[in-house]
Amino acid sequence: MWSEEASALVTADRSLTELRAVGPFTATFISRWFAEVPDVGAPPPIRDGFLTYAHARAVVAQHPEWAAALRADHQMHSDETDGSAPLEGMAVAAAELGRQRIAITDHSKTLRITNGMDEARLAAQGRRIDELNARGDGPRVLRAIEMDLTPEGASDMDPGALARLDLVLGAFHSKLRLKDDQTDRYLKALANSDIQVLAHPRGRVYNFRVGLTADWERVARAAAATGTALEIDAYPDRQDLDVERLRAVAASGAWVSIGTDAHTTGELVFLELGLAAAILAGISRERVLNCLDDQTLADRVGVVRAAKRRGSAERSDTTMAGGKRERIDTTPGRKGGSRYLRRDGAGRFSNDQTSAGRSVAADKRIAAKNKAPKGMKDRGD
Ligand SMILES: [Zn+2]
């Protein structure tokens, strides 16, 4: 996350302690590595394919037309869920960085570890955003959400509540450590008529989780066909999708959406990591939602919604996709919550699968795991 390469400081005879979080002790180690370059080998998959912030800044600096075209940051969290600043604070900080538009994408209700919002809280937040926009002194704020997708790609919120938003991101936050091919899961999620963006598709986190496996060329083609944008999550630990997979996206003609996934005002600067990934992968600026003006983006969201609803109406003639959520156990001492019920071929709801119905033990495990890292509590399992 250094804004310059250490080598640039050494070449310029500057002190390494100018770098973020580097004191004299660490500076001595780094100096020794320059004097005698150690063989570090290739990074393991769990740390592979991440850009440094310094590299990203250098790439962006070479392509000023991109920075000029990029108007918006399409993913960030406020203290309504697991962010640290109120939405007004995020808007002010984004304006200072020159953003003309931001999407406030707090979590939905199933992700209880983040204090996810139900429909009533989502609507109340929307009214606060309307008031903020009416003042007209900041960036345009989109009423949005990072909605939790069930492992089957279904929504956890009322479609009517989602249809009133300016932008809906869907994201997987569970079953992220499966090793087998997950292409089918992505195809279902991309066809979900409630969402316009699939957020942090792989679900990887630096040195923590390697992310899901899929046929990314097929996923990218499905994204193009459904009009669903694939996200470039620019959070330094995520960078998801990464440059390698974004090359398949560029070839498919699918749209992308770039967001910092910032949980603090200080993380908003990392939009450049997403911008650099788009540039390096050869994504066309004409396929980046962040480069559209406000009205064109609103028009596009409307078009995608209408087309996907038509598509899902056609599909439901032959298959019974999707399901519903059911409240479960709220006896004292248990946390309760909800579970996802799958529809069988005849359209009946069956409760014999409990993939999203977490046990109390699982809740405790997840709570313990999420205590350690600050910020992103939505790391999933
Ligand atoms: Zn997320």
Domain ranges in the chain are 6-41, 53-313, 323-371
Statement: residue 330 has pLDDT above 50: no
How many angstroms does the Cα of residue 38 sit away from the middle of ligand 1?
Answer: 36
Question: What predicted TM-score, i.e. pTM, was given to this entire model?
Answer: 0.83
How many angstroms does the Cα of residue 200 sit away from the middle of ligand 1?
Answer: 7
Of 148, 147, 150, 146, the closest CA to residue 75 belongs to: 146
Statement: residue 353 has pLDDT above 80: no
Statement: residue 340 has pLDDT above 60: no
Residues 187, 244: Cα–Cα separation, whole Å: 20
Q: Considering only residues 52 and 347, tell me which one the structure prediction assigns the higher pLDDT.
A: 52
How many angstroms does the Cα of residue 92 sit away from the middle of ligand 1?
Answer: 23
Place of tokens 């600026």: 285
Residues 17, 23: Cα–Cα separation, whole Å: 5
Cβ burial, residue 194 (10 Å; 0-12/13-18/19+): buried
pLDDT band at 33 (very low <50, low <70, confident <90, very high): very high
Statement: residue 307 has pLDDT above 80: yes
How many angstroms does the Cα of residue 239 sit away from the middle of ligand 1?
Answer: 12
Report, as an integer, the average pLDDT of 27-47: 93
How many angstroms does the Cα of residue 295 sit away from the middle of ligand 1?
Answer: 26
How many angstroms does the Cα of residue 70 sit away from the middle of ligand 1?
Answer: 22
77-114 confidence digits (pLDDT tens): 999 999 999 999 999 999 999 999 999 999 999 888 88
What is the 3-state secondary structure of the chain? CCCCCHHHHHHCCCCHHHCCCCCHHHHHHHHHHHHCCCCCCCCCHHHCCCCCHHHHHHHHHCCHHHHHHCCEECCECCCCCCCCCCHHHHHHHHHHCCCCEEEECCEECCCHHHCCECHHHHHHHHHHHHHHHHHCCCCEEEEEEEEEECCCCCCCCCHHHHHCCCEEEEEECCCCCCCCCCHHHHHHHHHCCCCCEECCCCCCECCCECCCCCCHHHHHHHHHHHCCEEEEECCCCCCECCHHHHHHHHHHCCCEEEECCECCHHHHHHHHHHHHHHHHHCCCHHHEHHHCCHHHHHHHHHHHHHHHHHHHHHHHCCCCCCEEEEEECCCCCCCCEEEEEEECCCCCEECCCCCCCCCHHHHHHHHHHHHCCCCCCCCCC
Strand order across the beta sheet in which 349-350 lies: 323-328, 337-343, 349-350
Residue 381 is predicted with a pLDDT of: 45
Residue 368 is predicted with a pLDDT of: 54
53-313 — its CATH code? 3.20.20.140
Place of tokens 């740390």: 47
How many angstroms does the Cα of residue 111 sit away from the middle of ligand 1?
Answer: 9
How many angstroms does the Cα of residue 347 sit away from the middle of ligand 1?
Answer: 31
Mean pLDDT of the chain: 88
How many angstroms does the Cα of residue 378 sit away from the middle of ligand 1?
Answer: 5
How many angstroms does the Cα of residue 146 sit away from the middle of ligand 1?
Answer: 7
Residue 311 is predicted with a pLDDT of: 84
Residue 113 is predicted with a pLDDT of: 87
Strand order across the beta sheet in which 197-198 lies: 72-73, 101-104, 140-149, 167-172, 197-198, 229-233, 256-259
Residue 324 is predicted with a pLDDT of: 52
How many angstroms does the Cα of residue 259 sit away from the middle of ligand 1?
Answer: 11
Report, as an integer, the average pLDDT of 54-72: 96
Of 162, 156, 157, 158, the closest CA to residue 144 belongs to: 162
Statement: residue 372 has pLDDT above 70: no
How many angstroms does the Cα of residue 234 sit away from the middle of ligand 1?
Answer: 12
How many angstroms does the Cα of residue 199 sit away from the middle of ligand 1?
Answer: 7
Rounded to an integer, what is the distance from CA 121 to the centroid of its chain?
Answer: 21
206-235 confidence digits (pLDDT tens): 999 999 999 999 999 999 999 999 999 999
How many angstroms does the Cα of residue 32 sit away from the middle of ligand 1?
Answer: 39
